[in-house]
Chain A
Amino acid sequence: MRRHPVALMVIVGLVASAIGIALALVIDWFPTDAAKQAEPIDTLYDVLMIVSVPVFVLVVIVTLFAVWQFRMRPGQEKMDGPPIHGNTRLEIVWTAVPAILLVSLCSYAYTVLTDIEEKEANTLVVNVVGQQFAWRYSYPQEGGRAIETTQLVLPKDRPILFKVRALDVIHDFWVPAFRVKIDAVPGIETEVRATPTKIGRFEVVCAELCGLGHAVMRSTARVVTPAAYDSWIAEQVRGGAAGGGGAAGGDDAAGGDDAAGGDASGGDAAALGRETFVQNCGSCHTLADAGTSGAAGPDLTTALRGQSEEQIREDIVDPDARIAEGFQAGVMPGNFSETLSAEQIDGLVTYLVSVSR
C-alpha cells in the first residue's frame, strides 16, 4: 500500500529536477560574455545547477511527501511513530555520496580555475588604478614610458593581464562581461587575466564598497580590432606629447564605430576638451552636447548656465570648494589637476564654457 505513493514521489521528483535543470540551462541568466574566461565559468554554473537542483528537489519532495503521507489524522492525537533510531547503511550513504559529489565538483572547479588563469604568450599588460571614485589605466610602452589614460581600450583576442592597484581604499576591478574581478588593494599589486573575444563597449564596475561614490565608480572597456588598437596606441603616443590621455575616442559621443580615435586630431582646444570630458566626466555628468548621461553629478547641460570661466575651472580642479546644492562633497575626484594635463583642463574649461552659453 505504501509502495505506490513512494513511486509517485520519485517520479514527481525526477520530473521536477528535469524541469529545474532545463530552466537553468535553457534560460541565459548572465550578461553578454565578451571574454575567453566567460565560457568555462558559465559552464561551471550549468554543472553546479545540474548537481544542485536534484539535491534541492530531493529535500523538498521528501518534506512534502512526509507532510502529505504522515501528517496526523483525526484520532491519532495520542499516537506515536515507530521508534526508529537510525540506520547505519543509510547514514553511510548520505555521508559518502555528497562527499564524493563535492570532491569531484571541487576538482572540476579547480580545472576551470587553472583554465581561466593560465599564462599565455604575447600577453598585453595593462595597469589599472582605482581611486575614489574613478578608474585610470596605463599602457607600458617600449622605452619605459607608459601611456597614462582614463580610457580602457583593448585589442580583440589578445590575452590581457590587468595589474591592479589602489590609491586610497579597497576597490574592485570588475568587467561583468569578462566575468572576472579582482580587488584593488592599497599597498599591493593584484592581477587578473582576461582575453576579450567580442568587439564592443563593456561596463567596468567597482565591486568593493569604497565610500560615497561606490555606486558611480564606473568606466568603460572598449574592445577593438588589433589594427584599431595599434592606431589608437599610436594616437596616444603622439597625443601624449600634445597632452596626456584624452586625445582619442572623439567617436565616443557619436557612440559607435570602434576604429578608435580616427577623427580626433588633438589640436583644437574645445575638441580636446570634449573628448576629455567624455572620457573622464561622462560617467558622472550628463551633458547633452557630449552625449553623456552620468547621474552622479549635476547635469552640466543646465548647471553651468551663467557660470564664469574661473568658477568652472575651480569646480574641476577643486570640486569641494563649492558644492552644487543637492549633491555631496567628496564624490567628484579632487585630483584632476594631477591626472589631467594642463592642456586638457584648459580644453575642458573652454569646451564647458562654450556649451554653457
Chain B
Amino acid sequence: MTAKLRAPGWYRAGLFVLLGIAFSYALVGVVRTLMHYPDAWADGDAITTVALIATPLFFLVGLGCFDYWFYYASGRPTRAEDHSSHGASSWKDYFRVNTDHKVIGIQYICTSFFFMFLGGLIAMLMRAELAKPGMQFVDSSTFNGLFSVHAALLIFLFVIPVFAGIANYVLPLMIGAPDMAFPRLNALSFWMLPAAGVLLTASFFAPGGAFASGWTAYAPLSTDMPLGQVFFTVGVQFAGASSIATALNFLVTIITMRAPGMSFFRMPLLVWANFSTSLLVVIATPFIAASQFFVLLDRALGFQYFDAFVGSGKNGSVLMYQHVFWFYSHPAVYIMMLPGFGIVSEILSVKARKPIFGYRMMAFSLLAIVALGFTVWAHHMFVSGMQSWIRVPMMITTAIIAVPTGIKIFSWLATLWKGVLHLDTPMLFALGFLTTFTLGGISGVMLSMIPFDIYVSDTYFIVAHIHYVLFGGSLFTIFAGIYYWFPKMTGRMYDETLGKVHFWMTFVFFNVTFGPMHLLGLDGMPRRVADYAEQYATLNLFVTIASFALGLSMLVFLYNMVASWRGGPRAAANPWRSLTLEWQVSSPPPIFNFDAVPTVVGGPYEYGVPGAVHGIFQSPTEAKPTHAGSVATSPTRE
C-alpha cells in the first residue's frame, strides 16, 4: 500500500488531494491568526478559495505530472529519452500521466466530449425552463448559474480543448515528427483540464449556487457574487494555463520538428491553422488570466480594481474589466474557429479529390484573421458606455475581418467546383459548416454595424449568432474532424449510416433550434432571462422542442462512436486515399509514428496531378519524387 502511495498514480493523487485541503486549512488558519482576525480557523470562504487553488496543484503532483522535473531539479539522474510513460496497451494507460501525443490526443477528445454532453444537458434544463413564460423548474439564480456553467463548460472545456486534442493527435503525424516537442509539458497541459472541469462543475454544490454572472463574469457583479464565482475564477486559470502550454508546445513543434522538405508552404492547412491559433493563444490568453486575477483579488483580498461606487472614493474602473476580458475573449472566438477552418480544408480537398483552391491565400488569410483579431475587441462594448469614439474604428476593423474569412469560404467553394465529391459523413459536416457558419458570420457582420448592435445587443439575436458560429461553425467542424480521423485514431471504421443520420438530425434541428432565436432577438427578447413576456411564448416553446430533438441527435453520435470503437470493422491505413503523412502509416500509427522520418517532396493537396507525391519514406539522400508512399493518384475526370 505505501508503495502504491509513493508511486505516481491515483492513490498518491488521492492522498495529495487530502494533503492539499489540509494545507489550505492550515495556511488560512495560521495567516489569519498571525493577523489577529476573529475566528481565524473558521472562515469557510477563505479556506475554500485557497483550497480551490492549492488542491488541483497537489492533485497534479500526486498524479505524477511533475516527478521528472523534481528529479531534474534536485539534480538526481534522469533519462531525457525515457519512454516508460509512452504509448498505451490497455485502457488503463489512458488514465495515467502519459507522454505519447496520440494517447494525450485521445484523452483530450474524450474528456472534452464528456464536458460537452454535460454542458448540453445543462442547456436542455435551460430550454425546459424557457419552454413557458414564468418560472417552472428553477429559480432565477439557478437559471443564471445554468447558462453561465453551460457557456463556461462548452467554451473552456469543450471547443478550445477538443481542437487541441485533435491537433495533438494529428499534427505531429502530419509534419512527420515522432512526438510533440515537450511531451511532459503536453501531459501536464492535459491533466490540468479535468481539474478545471471539476471546479466549474462543482460550483453547483457551492453555498449560494453556481457562479451566475455569465461566462463573461462582468465586474462588479462577479466581485460580489457568492462563493461559486471563485470556482469559475480559478477554474478558468487552469484551463487557460493548459491552453497556453499546449499552444507553446504546438508552436515549438511546428517550427523545429518538421520533416525534411516540409517547408512552411508544404504544410497541410490544419498545421497552418493550429500555428495561427497557437499564436492567438500565447498572446491573448494571459489577458483572461489577468482579468480573473483582478476579480479574485477584489473578492478575496479586498482589492479595489472595480470599486467605482460614487462616494466610496476608491476610483476603481468598471469598464477596465471589459476591455481586458474582451481583449482575450474576442481572439478566443477565433481560437475556437481557426482550427476548424484547418479541419475543413483537409476534408474538402480530400473528399473533393482536388487541390485546395488558392493554398497560399488560405494560409495568409489565417494570419490576416490573427492580426485583425486583436483590433476588434470593443465590438462587444458598443453599448457599454466606453468612450464613444472607439466604436467606429472597431466597427470598421470588425467588418473587414469578413474579407479574409470570405476568401476562405469562397476558396472552399472553388475547391468543390468540378471535383469528385465523396458525400460521406465528414464531407456532409464540412458542407453543412459552409452554410451554417456563413449565416452566423453574416449575422456577426450585421452586429458589427453599431446602430443595429445598439438595438439587438444583449438580445436573443446575440444568442443566435453565438450558436451559429460556435455550434454551426466550430462544432460542425469538430464532428467532421472526429469522423474523418476516427479510423486513424481507433483503427476502426465508424458506421456510415448512423453518421449520416446524425448529420441530418443535427443539421435540421440545429437550424430550427437556433434560427428562430434571430426573430426572438429582433422582436426584443433580452438574453439571460428565465422569465419572458407572453409575446415570445410560441417561438420559445418551438425552440425548446427542437432543442430536445437536437439533444437526441447527439445520442446517435455517442452510440456510433462507442459502438464503432469497440466493434467496428478494421480500418485500412488510408481509407480516404489522402496524401498527407498521417495516412501513410498504419491505423492506428506505430508507437513512434514513423520508423524512419519521411521526406516531403511536394505539396499536401496534389490530387489529380499525375504521379504527385507529398511524402516518401526513403532517407533524404535517395529522396526523389516517386509513387512510393502515396496511393492517391489516379486518372482525373476531365
Contacts and interface: CB of A to CB of B under 8 A. Distances in A.
Contact of A83 (B528, B632, B636): B636
B635 to A, nearest CB: 6
Interface residues of B, number: 96
B569 interface: no
Nearest to B524: A176
A181 B531 CA distance: 20
A328 B139 contact: yes
A207 B526 contact: yes
Interface stretch (B73-81, B188-196, B357-365): B357-365
Contact of A180 (B446, B454, B519): B454
B413 A81 contact: no
A244 B261 CA distance: 82
Interface stretch (B90-98, B168-176, B328-336, B395-403): B395-403
A212 B421 contact: no
B587 interface: no
B218 A106 contact: no
B420 A72 contact: yes
Interface stretch (B114-122, B179-187, B455-463, B491-499): B455-463
A70 B419 contact: yes
A92 to B, nearest CB: 10
B385 A188 contact: yes
Given A52-B446, A62-B413, A29 B519 contact: yes
Contacts of B633: 80
Given A29-B519, A102-B399, A205-B526, A82 B140 contact: no
B439 A209 contact: no
A55 B458 CA distance: 26
Interface in A179-218: 179-188, 190, 203, 205-216
Given A52-B445, A72-B423, A209-B144, A66 B383 contact: no
Interface stretch (B62-70, B348-356, B369-377): B348-356
B359 to A, nearest CB: 7
A56 B508 CA distance: 17
Interface stretch (A41-49, A257-265, A299-307, A347-355): A41-49
Contacts of A186: 220, 308-310, 318
B628 to A, nearest CB: 19
B634 A79 contact: yes
| Residue among B140, B384, B435 with the highest chain A CB neighbour number at 10 A | B140
A117 B382 CA distance: 13
A72 B421 contact: yes
B416 A91 contact: no
Interface stretch (A107-115, A246-254, A337-345): A107-115
Contacts of A72: 420-423
Contacts of B449: 44, 48, 105-106, 109
B260 to A, nearest CB: 24
B418 A82 contact: yes
A7 to B, nearest CB: 16
A84 B357 contact: yes
A174 B521 CA distance: 14
B501 interface: no
B282 interface: no
Contacts of A60: 435, 438
Interface string A147-188: 000000000000000001101111010101001111111111
Contact of B442 (A55, A209, A295): A55
A91 B385 contact: no
- In this complex, which of B400, B407, B421 has the most chain A Cβ atoms within 10 angstroms of its Cβ? B421
Interface centre among B439, B529, B636 (most CB of A within 10 A): B529
B202 interface: no
B536 to A, nearest CB: 11
B609 A78 contact: no
Contact of B402 (A102, A214, A216, A331): A102
A122 interface: no
B392 interface: yes
A81 B318 contact: no
Given A109-B449, A116-B451, A207 B457 contact: yes
Nearest to B360: A86
Interface in B266-324: 308-310, 316-319
A98 B406 contact: yes
B531 A216 contact: yes
A189 to B, nearest CB: 8
A320 to B, nearest CB: 14
Contacts of A56: 438-439, 442
B378 to A, nearest CB: 13
B205 interface: no
B134 A295 contact: yes
B318 A185 contact: yes
Nearest to B439: A56
B420 A295 contact: no
B607 A81 contact: yes
Interface string A32-56: 0000000011001100100010011
Contacts of B83: none
Given A52-B446, A72-B421, A81-B353, A66 B416 contact: yes
B410 interface: yes
B608 interface: yes
Contacts of A206: 526
Given A109-B395, A172-B383, A62 B635 contact: no
B437 to A, nearest CB: 9
Interface string B422-437: 1100000001001100
B221 interface: yes
B391 to A, nearest CB: 8
A304 B606 CA distance: 79
Contact of B317 (A83, A187, A211): A187
B547 interface: no
Contacts of B414: 84, 87, 90
A328 B392 CA distance: 42
Interface in B602-619: 606-609, 612
Interface string B585-624: 0000000000000000000001111001000000000000
A285 B445 CA distance: 41
Interface in B436-474: 438-439, 442, 445-446, 449-452, 454-455, 457-459
A209 B214 contact: yes
* B218, B411, B449, B528 — most chain A CB neighbours (10 Å): B449
A102 B400 CA distance: 7
Contacts of B577: 78
B450 A113 contact: yes
B145 to A, nearest CB: 11
A186 B213 CA distance: 16
Contacts of A188: 308, 318-319, 385
Nearest to A215: B529
A80 B611 CA distance: 12
A143 interface: no
A55 B417 CA distance: 18
B418 A85 contact: no
B638 interface: yes
A59 B413 contact: yes
A210 B218 CA distance: 9
15 contacts: A48-B452, A55-B442, A63-B416, A66-B417, A78-B635, A82-B354, A85-B359, A86-B360, A181-B383, A183-B384, A186-B220, A209-B144, A209-B528, A212-B140, A331-B140
Interface of A: 29-31, 40-41, 44-45, 48, 52, 55-56, 59-60, 62-63, 66-67, 70-72, 76, 78-87, 90-91, 94-95, 98-99, 102-103, 105-106, 109-110, 112-113, 116-117, 164-165, 167-170, 172, 174, 176, 179-188, 190, 203, 205-216, 295-296, 328, 331
By Cβ-Cβ distance, the 3 closest A-B pairs, closest first, are A187-B308, A190-B385, A176-B524
Given A66-B419, A99-B403, 19 more contacts: A62-B417, A63-B416, A63-B431, A71-B423, A79-B420, A81-B352, A81-B607, A86-B360, A169-B218, A172-B458, A174-B458, A176-B455, A179-B455, A181-B455, A186-B309, A207-B459, A211-B141, A211-B212, A328-B141
